Amino acid sequence: MSGRAARDIPYNYTSADDHRIFSLLLGEQVLAPLERLVYTRRTGRSWRLLMRVIGDLFIHHRNPFVLQALVDDRERRRRFFTGVFGDLDRIGDQRRIEPELDLVLERCRGKVESLRRELETTAVRRQRMLRQLGAIVGRKNIFFDPFTLAAHATDATDWRLHLPVAVVCPEMEDQVPRLLRAIAALGLKAIARGGGTGLTGGAVPVAPGCVMINTEKLDRIHAIGTVRIANETSDAPLMRSTIELEAGVITQTAMQAAEAKGLVFATDPTSAWACTIGGNIAENAGGKRAVRWGTAIDNLLNFRIAVADGRLLEVRRCRPTGRRIAADETIAFEVSDTDSGNTLKQISIPGHLLRKPGLGKDITNKSLQGLPGVQKEGTDGIITSATFILHHAYPYQRTVCLEFFGTDMEEAAQVIDRIVQAFPDQGREALMALEHFDEAYVRAIVYKAKAPRSRRPKAVLLIDIVGHAEEQVEAGLARLRRIMHGYPNTFMAVAGDDEEAQRFWRDRKRLGAIAARTNAFKLNEDIVLPLTALAEFTAFVDHLNVEEERENQAEVVWQWLTYLQEAVPIEDPTWLAAKLPEARHLLQSAVAQIRLAGRDHLQAETHLQRTRAALLELLSGYERVSSELEDDMAAIRGRRIEVATHMHAGDGNVHVNIPVFSNDREMMARAAETADLIMEKAVALGGW
């Protein structure tokens, strides 16, 4: 609650604060009475009992292992509810003194009673689900165990609201619409889940009574074939290769199947090693090849989607071109019922709804003129299979690394914009990939600069130039070198062979190192920016990082000062009078220096490390005190907020990553505030 530094609920099972837990379990109406009780309560014992009851409710709401223990053991269940209702009765005795308790107790009793009924009926409900859903997918494909439920309570957002009541894994496409009908008949809700790598919360149960439909067993690649498509330059149709596959196929598996035939599966998000085809469509995923071939929607020929009423629909692209959709064209889809074959509707989508002028794509448009499935994040159905157009691999390719130096990103933004303009989509020599990562990543992966310079680069851009002939690629390289004239702060390195090219790209695959200090967890946000706004956006992020670094280092010094004023070392209690004045002067001077420091000194921790060394020298021999000062520094430095960005530069899609400890509610709150500032800036710059 506001006004209190520590959590009163006696469990640290979540990064949510007490306020959020009260709201989630008991409703918004209890917040005001509880807030007043914080300041007016007359007996600490009743408050502690109340917080214990709410903690018990929350732990059973969130932890399926604890919940299952009560389901399995009737006597344990009896003792638990006897104890909880006894606590509520004891708290109720205080109502004359604290009338604010009435509403809170009423809500608690209702929640406890609801939990009791749920536990007593769980076995019966599960047997009913086994009978009705098992008749469709087989009982072996229905899971209630705590491990599976916990694994399906969130996606990569780590956003947890409710536990699912069951997880179902269909093995055949035609089982999915039947499952949706059966789940609805049971009075439950259905949530689609593929690889669980989503960053939009699309696979998170957002209400009680959700059944997760996991598509991981829909993993068949049916065929790699061909299709006739319209020829935009003549009347003769073109033949294009296609891949037909189910929704649970891992994206990287699809890419490898295409590669084995000398073809390219163009959709390749960063999570390709784990994400699935259904999720690619639901999120309209892109990746480094988007600069050449676009996102999922550009490459979709058709797909099937099971909708809430139990129908299986087929969505087919009309007059596909096999190329990246332009902002000035209109594309069309036809939606039909697979059972009857009847056409239900035809949809036309102007290209500018996919790609706004100056932006590579518009990630905010969830409607797309009523097109089912695509970019809907799983909200309007469960995608079961799809056919994608494949592309012929270019026989010639050269990889280029650009390193940007200097004090800002102004030159880098100009270079990237010029490159995009210099390589039109229909050119003979083309950009296959255009991937950018910033200085935070350069530091995190300990990037080895290729330029003969003493400073590390401000950012790095990786480029693949491809062509159907060697001279085309050489012409592309020559064009790139001409662009570099006049940009002294940009260094260009060209890979000499395939092995060196792979080393260039290996750095891009190591970007996960940004979250090493937070146990690999980070907040992830997606924005799209006009390339002309990249310099200002980067300067804004850089300023956020510099000021966070400044505040964090100052916090370390203030914590040292606070500790030394309170510390009583066992070794020699008389040290304080002699040492503290000098330590105080040292630390106060350090704060002043940190407040005035520039970004280079802050990033190098110049003043912080100098102060640390001087302080430890001053306290030499006091091992316990020195150790605790070091622990304080490590804890505070580990909780600093740092924003890192990497970008599919061809379409301006920027991934904003903020490493954070998911169980640290204060750090999570600060990270969320930082993300809000970044979103506001993106919109102000004409982005999304």
**Cα 170 from Cα 309, distance rounded (Å):** 18
Q: What is the pLDDT of residue 41?
A: 59
**Cα 320 from Cα 231, distance rounded (Å):** 9
**Cα 389 from Cα 369, distance rounded (Å):** 23
**Cα 396 from Cα 465, distance rounded (Å):** 8
Measured CA angle at 657 (ends 654, 663), to 5 deg = 155
Helix/strand/coil for 647:
strand
Question: What's phi and psi for 226, nearest 5 deg?
Answer: -135, 160
Chain-centre distance for alpha carbon 356: 24
pTM for this prediction: 0.87
- Which amino acid belongs to residue 192? A
Cβ count within 10 A of residue 628: 16
**Cα 596 from Cα 150, distance rounded (Å):** 48
Sole residue written with tokens 């100052």: 554
Q: Which of 264, 219, 259 is nearest to 240 (CA)?
A: 264
**Cα 48 from Cα 67, distance rounded (Å):** 23
Element (H, E) at 315: strand 312-318
Q: Which of 101, 77, 103, 74 is nearest to 90 (CA)?
A: 101
Q: Which of 684, 658, 617, 605 is nearest to 157 (CA)?
A: 658
Low-confidence stretches of the chain (pLDDT < 70) are 1-6, 12-15, 39-43, 94-100, 232-234, 356-363, 425-427, 567-577, 651
What the block records as the tokens of 342 is 């009847």
Q: Is 378 within 8 Å of 368 (Cβ atoms)?
A: no
What the block records as the tokens of 27 is 């409703």
Q: What is the pLDDT of residue 365?
A: 75
Q: What is the pLDDT of residues 567-605, one digit of tens each?
A: 655 556 666 667 888 988 999 999 999 999 998 899 899
Task: Please state whether beta strands 166-168 and 210-214 pair in parallel, antiparallel, or not at all (unpaired).
Answer: parallel
Burial classification of residue 484, based on how many CB atoms lie within 10 Å of its CB (0-12 exposed, 13-18 middle, 19 or more buried): middle
Q: How far apart are the first and last CA of the chain?
A: 34
Q: Which of 680, 679, 361, 409 is nearest to 533 (CA)?
A: 409
Architecture of domain 396-509: 2-Layer Sandwich (3.30)
On whether the 139-223+238-393 domain is CATH 3.40.50.150, my answer is no
Q: Which of 592, 654, 676, 610 is nearest to 440 (CA)?
A: 654
Q: Is 327 within 8 Å of 359 (Cβ atoms)?
A: no
Measured CA angle at 590 (ends 586, 595), to 5 deg = 155
Q: Is 421 within 8 Å of 274 (Cβ atoms)?
A: no
* Alpha helix stretches (DSSP H) within 27-73: 31-40, 44-62, 64-72
Q: What is the pLDDT of residue 2?
A: 39
Please compute, for residue 498, the number of CA atoms within 13 A of its CA located in the half-sphere on the CB side.
3
Helix/strand/coil for 36:
helix
For residue 158, what are the CA distances in angstroms to 152, 214, 669, 671? 10, 18, 14, 14
